[in-house]
């Protein structure tokens, strides 16, 4: 079978990270890229790495005509516009085998529903990229505990978090463009993987039915590290005028439709994590068993003293969102593999070549968007949101959080 020719829409951080992961995946090549900025640099890098020709295209229509599948890796505020362009290209004759969209599917439920409707118009298989479900450690947890679950019962509590010291692109800090703060950026990861870990083995991803969400968000102003304030200043971001939450936590309650049992998914996310860098932490409890995973526990540590630190050009060579370039550093030898990006791409390639959706399709991405927006609604209204009523489901369709409207100062607790 010929390689799947993949085209990128976007050439920023996540596009480069995904391209790095593609180097370790068989049966796929980076055939093209469209981006307003950085396309040439990504093209040169991809060709130097042997990823493929990676031609730079002037628009999305030309990209779609020359590739087998496209991946939307551009910023959140352009998701719908880019999907519309992809659909137009297919209607004009582009023969796509698949469409990938990086999380989040939409900044609101309305945007996510629009993305799903557009995909259905053309009937092309889709993959919603949620990398943490593809982490080898997550898959191992489910595999290792399969016998215990069969005898004792499924996981009843899963606690998942993603934390680092904040994004490195200016638009992430604008809630009206990003769709919120850390909950929109990383809460989708933690909610999704917790839901997955709670799901009994052999059941579909949406087997457990969401019952309620209770969440809280805050602005941890006191903890702003000096380096981050310098970063915001360099990006021209005045966070005090248009703030978003940099800490979010909450609980989603699900029900097993076969047994009626309620299970809990707890999420915690922070842009104020003053440790080595990005940390993924997951643990869970079931009857007679438990699990725990911490991505900062690395088999490799390096120490760099003050004088030697002067030679360090890029702190992120050791760890994504690294907060230091000296002292005792945790080094992740292969972040793309640890975080599930390699397995995520493999899943999409195999699915599209077989004419089917990936493990997580755009409809799944819509469900995650609903849960994230319900969490914002809960924090804003100060109450538990009942997800089982038609009234709530209708309210979510038109809901735009005050934070996403640029009115975060009205609702955020400043700690």
- DSSP letter string over 184-228? IIIIHHHHHHHHHHHSPTTS-TT-SEEEEEEEEEEE-GGG--HHH
pTM over 0.85: yes
More confident residue, 165 or 316: 165
Task: Residue 194: name the closest of 384, 381, 374, 371 by CA.
Answer: 371
pLDDT of residue 318: 55
Segment among 204-218, 240-254, 371-385, 391-405 with least mean pLDDT: 240-254
Task: Residue 335: name the closest of 283, 278, 291 by CA.
Answer: 278
User: 300 is written with which tokens?
Assistant: 């490799």
pLDDT of residue 299: 76
Query: Would you say residue 345 has pLDDT above 60?
Result: yes
User: 39 is written with which tokens?
Assistant: 């396309």
CB atoms under 10 Å from CB of 236, counted, come to 7
What is the rounded average pLDDT of the residues 346-366? 98
b (16+ CB within 10 A) / e for 196-211: bbbbbeeeebeebebb
CA atoms within 13 Å, Cβ hemisphere of 244: 26
pLDDT of residue 227: 58
pLDDT of residue 321: 61
Query: Would you say residue 238 has pLDDT above 80?
Result: no
pLDDT of residue 257: 98
Spatial neighbors of 310 by CB under 8 A, at least 6 apart, are none
Task: Residue 395: name the closest of 410, 408, 385, 383 by CA.
Answer: 385
Chain mean position to CA 414: 26
Predicted confidence band at 404 (pLDDT cuts at 50, 70, 90)? very high
Predicted confidence band at 221 (pLDDT cuts at 50, 70, 90)? low
Domains, the chain, ordered by start: 4-124 (3.40.50.720), 132-339 (3.30.360.10)
């Amino acid at each position: 079978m010929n390689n799947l020719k993949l085209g990128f829409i976007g050439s920023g951080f996540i596009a480069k990270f995904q391209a790095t992961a593609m180097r370790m995946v068989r049966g796929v090549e980076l055939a093209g890229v469209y981006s307003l900025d950085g396309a040439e640099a990504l093209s040169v890098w991809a060709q130097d790495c042997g990823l493929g020709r990676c031609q730079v295209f002037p628009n999305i229509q030309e990209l779609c005509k020359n590739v087998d599948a496209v991946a939307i890796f551009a910023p959140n505020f352009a998701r719908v516009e880019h999907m519309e362009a992809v659909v137009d290209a297919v209607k004009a004759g582009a023969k796509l085998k698949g469409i990938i969209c990086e999380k989040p599917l939409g900044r609101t439920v309305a945007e996510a529903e629009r993305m799903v409707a557009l995909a259905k118009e053309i009937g092309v298989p889709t993959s919603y990229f949620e990398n943490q479900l593809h982490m080898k450690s997550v898959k191992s947890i489910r595999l290792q505990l399969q016998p215990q679950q069969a005898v004792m019962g499924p996981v009843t509590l899963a606690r998942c978090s993603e934390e680092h010291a904040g994004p490195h692109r200016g638009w992430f800090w604008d809630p009206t463009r990003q769709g919120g703060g850390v909950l929109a950026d990383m809460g989708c990861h933690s909610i999704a993987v917790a839901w997955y870990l709670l799901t009994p083995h052999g059941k579909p991803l949406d087997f457990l039915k969401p019952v309620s969400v209770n969440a809280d968000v805050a602005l941890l102003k006191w903890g702003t590290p000096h380096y981050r304030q310098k970063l915001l200043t360099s990006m021209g971001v005045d966070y005090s005028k248009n703030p978003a939450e940099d800490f979010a936590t909450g609980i989603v309650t699900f029900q097993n439709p076969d047994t009626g049992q309620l299970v809990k998914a707890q999420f915690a996310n922070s842009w104020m994590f003053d440790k080595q860098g990005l940390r993924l932490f997951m643990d869970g409890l079931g009857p007679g068993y438990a699990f725990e995973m911490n991505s900062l526990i690395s088999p490799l540590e390096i120490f760099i003293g003050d004088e030697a630190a002067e030679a360090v050009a890029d702190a992120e060579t050791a760890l994504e969102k690294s907060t230091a370039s000296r002292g005792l550093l945790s080094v992740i030898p292969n972040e793309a593999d640890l975080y599930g990006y390699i397995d995520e791409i493999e899943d999409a390639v195999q699915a599209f070549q077989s004419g089917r959706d990936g493990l997580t399709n755009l409809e799944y991405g819509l469900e995650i968007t609903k849960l994230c927006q319900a969490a914002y609604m809960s924090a804003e209204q100060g109450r538990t949101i009942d997800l089982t009523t038609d009234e709530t489901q209708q309210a979510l369709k038109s809901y735009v959080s005050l934070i996403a409207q640029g009115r975060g100062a009205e609702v955020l607790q400043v700690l």
